Amino acid sequence: MVTGASSGIGEAAVRALRASGWDVLGVARRADRLEALAQETGAAVFAADLTSPADVDALAAHVEATGGVAALVHVAGGARGSDRVEDGDAGDWTWMFDVNVLSAQRLVKALLPQLRDAIRSGSGHADTLFVTSTASQVAYPGGGGYNAAKAAEMMLVRALRQELNGEPIRVIEIAPGMVHTEEFTLNRLGDQAAADALYEGVDGVLVAEDVADVIAYALNAPGHVNLDSVTMRPVAQSAQHILARGPLKPRD
């Protein structure tokens, strides 16, 4: 199962996993985009809002009725606004916590029994993989709400890994830095020009397919190998706050 499958990293993950032989269920809110993805890739799809407990329950029932699940790839999430902490909109912060943290907890609670059943049925191991962000690692001005939400999601992942110790269930975190996708920054800033300016002049910015390649590698690695936490950035971004613009080249 791949969440956030209607665009960006989630959509790319569906394509990468299908290409490497997985049966995939793509999950997102937008049914029309899911149907187009299903036609192109052969993936199964299910429309659900992961901030809705009722939708998550319906999703879990659908998965169980259609054969269960051996790997959960949770990509769905997002950011709203770039306000300073003192100017922040509590509604935006609540939404970010719901979509990034509580959705992850809801999915784990709903699907962990089925992941265990998959192991008992002969899968050998099961997988949970969460796409967080380098925003979970380093704070920056205007990022307080997203920093807090992604840091909370990161801690959820690390607690889960310890709680599942002794079971053959991998708990994997992929934390991307700057990734140029169709919607993430546009949805956050609400302005196409501002979104485009963020990536302007960055040589070799990551794209969704780069992250999807790492997701597929993590799931296709031998079952005893757990990629606890992978931080990935474009070479031009050597740290959260250090970004080169213009061509990368050796110094004279």
Q: Which residues are catalytic?
A: 146
In the chain, % helix, strand, coil (3-state, to 5) comes to: 50, 15, 35
What is the C-alpha separation between 245 and 252, in angstroms, rounded? 18
Helices (H), 66-183: 90-97, 103-118, 144-163
| Helix, strand, or coil (residue 88) | coil
Task: Answer whether 219's CB lies under 8 Å from 127's CB.
Answer: yes
Question: Which secondary-structure segment (H or E) carries 60?
Answer: helix 53-65
Q: Residue 39 has which token pair? A: 């036609």
